[in-house]
């Protein structure tokens, strides 16, 4: 079941197309990675979800029906370009933003006090934002993003500006939000965090979606039937014992072990490789090499339009 669905979204800014028939379906309860190089159109897409700008063409569905102005109360957005009023106190500011998201005064107060306690931020309530460290400001910012308990959370580069400890806390909090039933859209360049958090991704490049689907399936389609084997007690040449259709990509030695990466043909299978090797070598490990998101990202973007990468 999709919580959010964008169908054929097109958005044109004078002279250039920011989004070109983009279709993205976001399953309820997932953490959805929105990836793409700078200037690909991710931010435009996020702004359209937030109804900051309107698409030229296409339809958007939220919770099974067409997106409505009041749906912003169900959406929490942490923009990449983010900040707070520097001269305002933390408490006033949090109250203000919570009320703008539709909470009543009493409700905002109640929830904020609960969260401030949880994050150990009670002492900050009367401090001005400019008196806080950057990390502390980010915490406040995160808190006001989720204070109205939105069903859809949008994080644009959430980890920038966080130290590893706070980044870890933030990650746990994002997962906790998901476990509580929220759906998360997560836009980032940090492929390690995509790998760690996302179930689904869409890769946007040059205003088009070029890759789309569950992370596991995408990885499967990008795998190249390459295996890494660790062995010893063999002094011959691997080429001599392997069938001619198999290719050895790389061989090296580490801690007295031989390691090699070997690609088998598309119609081959891992057992054929094992059968060829086992009579000759002492096998220690055998792993299929699944490409990381980083590699997939670069391959997808450069294969489809090599000039984009050079421009950015």
Residues that bind other proteins (CB under 8 A): 13-14, 47, 50, 52-53, 72, 75, 77-79, 81-88, 96-97, 99-102, 141, 144-145
124 is written with which tokens? 């900050």
Q: What is the 3-state secondary structure (H, E, C) of 159-175?
A: CCCCCHHHHHHHHHHHH
For other proteins, which is the closer residue by CB, 46 or 197? 46
Question: What are the DSSP calls for 82-126, one per residue?
Answer: ----TTSBHHHHHHHHHHHTT--HHHHHHHHHHHHHHTT-GGGTT
For other proteins, which is the closer residue by CB, 43 or 258? 43
For other proteins, which is the closer residue by CB, 81 or 254? 81
For other proteins, which is the closer residue by CB, 140 or 218? 140
Least distance CB 73 / other proteins (angstroms): 8
H runs (alpha helix) in 198-237: 215-222
* Angstrom distance (rounded) from CA 38 to CA 78: 18
Least distance CB 52 / other proteins (angstroms): 5
Least distance CB 76 / other proteins (angstroms): 9
For other proteins, which is the closer residue by CB, 51 or 294? 51
Least distance CB 100 / other proteins (angstroms): 4
Which residues have a Cβ under 8 Å from the Cβ of 224 and sit 6 or more positions away? 263, 289, 291
Strand order in the sheet with 75-78: 75-78, 152-156, 183-187, 31-35, 200-205, 208-214
Which residues have a Cβ under 8 Å from the Cβ of 63 and sit 6 or more positions away? 3, 4, 71, 74, 151
For other proteins, which is the closer residue by CB, 81 or 240? 81
* Angstrom distance (rounded) from CA 203 to CA 35: 5
For other proteins, which is the closer residue by CB, 67 or 273? 67
241 is written with which tokens? 């014992």
Query: CA nearest 77: which of 125, 28, 147, 25?
Result: 147
Query: CA nearest 205: which of 22, 73, 58?
Result: 22
Least distance CB 36 / other proteins (angstroms): 18
Least distance CB 257 / other proteins (angstroms): 52
Count CB atoms within 10 A of the CB of residue 234.
Answer: 14
For other proteins, which is the closer residue by CB, 61 or 96? 96
Query: CA nearest 142: which of 190, 76, 87?
Result: 76
Least distance CB 169 / other proteins (angstroms): 21
Least distance CB 203 / other proteins (angstroms): 23
């Amino acid at each position: 079941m999709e919580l959010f669905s964008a169908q054929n979204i097109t958005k044109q800014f004078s002279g250039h197309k920011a989004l070109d028939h983009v279709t993205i379906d976001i399953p309820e309860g997932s953490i959805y990675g929105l990836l793409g190089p700078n200037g690909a159109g991710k931010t435009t897409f996020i702004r359209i979800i937030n109804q900051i700008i309107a698409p030229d063409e296409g339809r958007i569905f939220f919770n099974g029906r067409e997106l409505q102005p009041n749906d912003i109360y169900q959406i929490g957005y942490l923009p990449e370009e983010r900040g707070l009023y520097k001269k305002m106190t933390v408490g006033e500011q949090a109250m203000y933003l919570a009320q703008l998201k539709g909470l009543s005064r009493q409700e905002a107060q109640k929830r904020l006090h609960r969260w401030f306690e949880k994050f150990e931020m009670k002492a900050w309530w009367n401090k001005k934002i400019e008196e806080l460290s950057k990390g502390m400001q980010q915490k406040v910012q995160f808190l006001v993003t989720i204070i109205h308990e939105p069903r859809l959370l949008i994080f644009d580069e959430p980890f920038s500006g966080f130290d590893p400890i706070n980044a870890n806390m933030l990650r746990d909090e994002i997962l906790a939000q998901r476990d509580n039933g929220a759906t998360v859209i997560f836009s980032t360049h940090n492929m390690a965090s995509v790998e760690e958090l996302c179930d689904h991704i869409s890769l946007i490049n040059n205003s088009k979606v070029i890759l789309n689907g569950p992370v596991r399936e995408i990885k499967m389609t990008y795998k190249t039937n390459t295996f890494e084997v660790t062995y010893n007690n063999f002094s011959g040449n691997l080429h001599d014992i392997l069938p001619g259709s198999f290719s050895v990509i790389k061989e090296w030695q580490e801690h007295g072990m031989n390691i090699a990466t070997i690609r088998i043909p598309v119609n081959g299978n891992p057992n054929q490789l094992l059968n060829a090797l086992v009579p000759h070598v002492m096998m220690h490990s055998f792993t299929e090499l699944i490409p990381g998101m980083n590699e997939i990202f670069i391959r997808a973007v450069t294969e489809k339009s090599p000039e984009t990468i050079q421009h950015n």
